[in-house]
Amino acid sequence: MGPAVYLDYNATTPVDPRVLEKMLPFFSDYYGNPSSEGHSYGWAASAAVEAARRQVAEALGARPANVTFTSGASEGINTAIKGIARAYAGKGRHIITVKTEHQASLRSCRTLEAEGFRVTYLPVDGDGLIDLDELESALTGETILVNVMWANNETGVIHPVSEIAARVRDRGILFMTDATQAVGKFPVTVAEVDVLVCSGHKLYGPKGVGVLYLRERVRVPALVDGGGQEHGMRGGTLNVPGIVGLGEAVEVACSHCGSEADRLSQLRDNLEQRLAEALPAIRFNGKRAPRLPNTSNTTFPGDACEYLLMGSLGELAISPGSACASGRSGASHVLSAMGIPPNEARRSARISLGRPTTEADTDRAAEIIIGAVRALTAT
Ligand code: PLP
């Protein structure tokens, strides 16, 4: 048996060879600390970090000065949500977010609730979308931040960021988006947001490095205090190879995202069609909403889901939803928020395609899934 068909690219992606090539010299040859301002080793590292910052800024339509490198999206989200709350508490103590956000957002909000902030968790409809009028009605004179993810990691459902921004920002309220699953999958810019986060390992860059974009007027204290790196935004010696890789990964991903999106959505749609023809009881969650081109959140009939999620004897790598909630005991909070009953949510998995995915992979995945469902539902 060959390696498992990997269809878990929303969990993480392999490092693109172009990215790896750019990173390698920064482990062994240019290993200086960018904070070493007195010699050429430090200068080389610092120049590479600033070049990566420009790559990210260019790809996202941002100013380089507004790009901070972090250890990943979770850190960016924590820094922004907690930082904004604490810095703007004098203006108001109300935050709005959505029930289907990543746990990094939800748990940051829970921490703030324990500190006396009020958080509104907006519901979503059966397609995973918020009601914009409901969002607008939830805004109060006390609201300091609205945080809505751009694309959902479990279902791929895409929120209408421009329309949300238009309703929020005119009132002087900050608008933040977690674009971790969006950057590189469709065109993303910071034009209409105040805060944006993303992560290297979701876009064929390395793990342990991410971006926090903050518009000029947004004041946020550092979450990690240290030697004043990143203009005091984040202490700690910079992860130079990671940052170099992230810069290259963002540039590559953003320059090819149009053609890659078409290819992936065709593969995904064909896979769904084939599964639906063979297994009429199968369901695809969020399918009626605008969705990421690579993602299919699938509810399997019968008892096949657990078997498929356990790696189907090493043949297929898919996941229950959020890789970051591994070992989950209950049903997905995203599917639950969409009104999917727990017994169906527990029979659901996320299939996510990526740059290396071929038609042969999706054909094989269809065979494995259809075979497992038929075998495990046969009476
Ligand atoms: N936000 C979303 C939407 C994600 O999918 C993930 C990762 O699964 C994260 C945040 C956390 O990213 P990181 O692993 O870089 O901390």
257 is known as an active-site residue = no
Q: Are 261 and 341 in contact (CB under 8 A)?
A: no
Q: Give the residues surrounding ligand 1 with Cβ less than 6 Å away.
A: 72-74, 102, 104, 149, 153, 178, 180-181, 199, 210, 322-324
* Of 81, 83, 249, residue with least CA distance to 149: 81
Tell me whether strands 174-178 and 195-199 are parallel, antiparallel or unpaired: parallel
Q: Select from 9, 105, 181 the residue to mutate for testing ligand 1; criterion: most ligand atoms less than 8 Å from CB.
A: 181
Task: Tell me which residue has its CA closest to atom 5 in ligand 1.
Answer: 153
Band the pLDDT of 65: cuts 50, 70, 90: very high
At residue 276, φ and ψ (nearest 5 deg) are -65, -35
Give the per-residue pLDDT at 326.
Answer: 44
pTM of the model: 0.96
Give the per-residue pLDDT at 2.
Answer: 72
Q: Are 226 and 70 in contact (CB under 8 A)?
A: no
CA of residue 265 to ligand 1 center, whole Å: 22
* Of 248, 173, 218, residue with least CA distance to 76: 218
Q: For residue range 284-327, what is the model confidence (pLDDT) as tens digits?
A: 999 999 999 999 999 999 888 888 888 777 899 999 865 444 44
Q: For residue range 29-41, what is the model confidence (pLDDT) as tens digits?
A: 999 999 999 999 9
End-to-end CA distance of the chain: 28
Mean pLDDT of the chain: 95
List, in order, residues 6 or more apart from 222 with CB less than 8 Å away.
79, 83, 232, 233, 234, 235
Residue with tokens 């043949």: 315
CA of residue 13 to ligand 1 center, whole Å: 12
List, in order, residues 6 or more apart from 301 with CB less than 8 Å away.
279, 281, 282, 347, 373, 377
* Of 84, 70, 77, 214, residue with least CA distance to 144: 84
Tell me whether strands 348-352 and 295-299 are parallel, antiparallel or unpaired: antiparallel
Q: Select from 74, 103, 157 the residue to mutate for testing ligand 1; criterion: most ligand atoms less than 8 Å from CB.
A: 74
Q: For residue range 243-298, what is the model confidence (pLDDT) as tens digits?
A: 999 999 999 999 988 889 999 999 999 999 999 999 999 999 999 999 999 999 99
Number of the ligand 1 atom closest to the C-alpha atom of 151: 3
CA of residue 102 to ligand 1 center, whole Å: 7
* Of 296, 267, 281, 294, residue with least CA distance to 373: 281
d(CA 115, CA 326): 28
Cα atoms found within 13 Å of the Cα of residue 322, Cβ hemisphere only: 19
Task: Tell me which residue has its CA closest to atom 12 in ligand 1.
Answer: 73
pLDDT of 378 over the 70 cut: no
377, burial (CB in 10 Å: exposed 0-12, middle 13-18, buried 19+):
middle
> How many CB atoms sit inside 10 A of residue 282's CB?
18
d(CA 252, CA 59): 9
Number of the ligand 1 atom closest to the C-alpha atom of 200: 15
